[in-house]
Chain A
Amino acid sequence: MNWQKLWWLVVVILVSFPGRGSRAQTQSVEMVPSALKALGAPNNPKIEVAWNRYYDWAGVTALVRRFAETFPHLCRLEQIGTSYEGRPLWALTITNFQKGKPEDKPAMYIDASIHANEIQAVEVALYTAWFLLESYGNNPFITELLDTRTFYIVPGQSPDSRDRFMHSANNPHSPRSGQVPRDDDGDGLINEDPPDDLNGDGYITQMRVRAPGGRWKVDPEDPRRMVRARPDEEGEYYLFWTEGYDNDGDGQINEDGDGYYDPNRNWGWMWRPHYVQYGADWFPFSLPETKAVSDFIKSHPNILGGQSYHNAGGMILRGPGAKEDRIESEDLKLFDLMGKFGEQILPGYRYLVTHRDLYTVYGGETDWMYGAEGILPFVNELWTPYNMFRKQYPKDNWFGAGKDQYKFDRYLLLGEAFVDWQPVAHPQYGMVEVGGFKKTYTRMPPSFLLEEECHRNMIFTLWHAYHLPLITLDSVQVIPLGQQRYRVTLIIHNHRAFPTRLQVDVKNGITRPDIVTLQGLPVLAGGVHQTVFSPTFEAQQAHPERLKVERIPGFGAVRVSWIIRGTGPIQITFDSVKGGKYQKRVVVR
């Protein structure tokens, strides 16, 4: 191989790896040190990240790699799958690895942006990882959380379309799907008629055509805005929601762009076909991304708390997604506990029920988490229009009043969010005008509100994680019964609000019961007491050394007893799939 070839090989390799340092935006800039710590944020962090802007998948990849490299004792990075176009899907495991295995602690699962255009969700997830890592050892609350809990963070579920959103022309609502090719209009061609950026400005905005019969007119208060003509007056314009032309000559405009399917209708819980649930796709987990993420969740049965970040509208959503489905009454109390707490710390956000207050969702991710995996999950719809003028809108007005959107842009963004109308030659309609809001407006917070959105939503999940079970093995009593026989009694105490298994789990046997094991001496009998005060217990018929306990209630306790023979050291292990694993050693004398 000559030098020229070798040089090209090096260039190709460098270009092929979009990893660390491949983008200027992820490289740390020399920062002037902080002289005074602002409350609520890590001071002089090891990894400087600007939380007032957005990162593409190379940027996300660079950040998560740096998290794992900088904090190896707290953070591990793994690739859990590959997107349709070949991008890595990442998962971070964050816990204090020196204090127990991650799988032996109750876990909080966080993911983001299953809908690719719901951009800031990724930044909230990344901020959470960064904040936890930078705060460990500095903040006692965080330190205890990482000593006793595990966080699994999947920072983005749709990397292909995230990059499409950032690097191709799009509007705030596209692409919602991933990039798996689908023929939307049944003509045998795939994605052959997407929207087109007619004026080449990098945005898909709207088109207006001044022509007889149009029912739209220019808003007299803000000439950028189009409003419908009153019923008693003539209009001036036709308005088309998306910029584009008929690429494939079938007489329709933009009828087959990327996607159509909805990854958040593709999960294996109350899945319904496309004619019942739009976008369900072929069958549950038919998409590489939903398959990879669901496999990750299934292979981490210690997950008990769940959080999925979406946008928009300022909502803290709980299931069920369909009225035919249900939440068990005890679990509902936990949802309410967290949801009402969330309303306090997230101004403008409302705690809502998906099917009742939003719309019906079949085959949704978080409904699958709850129904199939026994996890208590929330969906936060990020960005509330409340943030524009600290004004609450009706709950179905997710983006705020149109007039206020224009005002917020004019006064606070100084007009940056709007592409002014400009004439463009359209191959089918002749001269049209193209203009409207940029893709970065109406669903995503502007720079100065992004960090607040990240922090407040993260705090919601930290308290969720805080309330996961925290078990102590208390009050071990050894009572001699004579003839080398002893009665060993133990109280298993849960110091947090969540039980070790949700009611939906216990009722349907999603996971096994918790197991308390006594090892070291022969066990003659054993059982669980009805209450912590009951002197008697119901003896377990087989394997008394391995007692099955249905669950440890939130802020509750369970008493178990064994009759053993002999003296010496014994080891008691409490092993709950979702509540964690704990051990205690005692010497029987």
Chain B
Amino acid sequence: MAVIKTEGLTYVYGEGTPFRKVAVDHIDLEIEEGEFVGIIGHTGSGKSTLIQHFNGLLKPTEGSVYIDGEKLWDDKAKLRPIRFKVGLVFQYPEYQLFEETVYKDIAFGPKNMGLDDDEIDRRIKETARMVGLKPEMLEKSPFDLSGGQKRRVAIAGVMAMNPKVLILDEPASGLDPKGRERILSMLKDYHKQTGNTVLLVSHSMEDIAKNAQKILVMNKAKLFCYDETVKVFHRSEELRQMGLSVPQITRVFDRLKAMGIGLDDDVYTVKYAAELVLSMLKRREG
């Protein structure tokens, strides 16, 4: 069963004013449980508006959203449990830290869920380990940490609620390459270990290529496509026209193909590119 489903989802900002703007336009979508989905789209394409519907922060102007089979907004009292199912990490989440210690900050979400102290403790320790925070850091003030560490604390706070769906809006933006890599490999491990669905919004095609199984492409408030990573990056020309791109390595192999080099497959990661070239060289020798 789809963990997230939308039917004709439409959202209009400033309805009835001269600033009326359709931000998402009749979106029909089904995301299966356990998937790692990359979300891409140009600035203003409707990505952020779309994901805010998934945990009921925005109410559709038209159409509906189902989480885990349950329709949102049918019964307002049901929104709270649904928000625990879908964890949303905003851009620059480190600005939302507020507690005295890292421990208390991560505990905030699980506490609101009404979990008992032992369970909260267990979850904090587990997520801290998952995001690579050493046990001694838990007693520090979150404001004494580096930017990358703060960001990991903020993400841990949402992970500790063990949401069925974890959505992150540009979790690596502004970080250096090592910090980026760290956040992304942490998300990959989280996905593997928990089996939870992960939705990652990013402007970095390279990061999406390395992690996502499927990609959701938004273009001018509409869903352009939702498909497997390799199939989406196959449409490089269309992506380019909508202000997006494909990974650098994909561009290189697209060009080699156009120059007449026979390649069986599309390339979108460096690792795969290396394997492909090596096997071609081997075949030639053999």
Interaction A to B = no
Binding site for B on A (CB under 8 A): none
Binding site for A on B (CB under 8 A): none
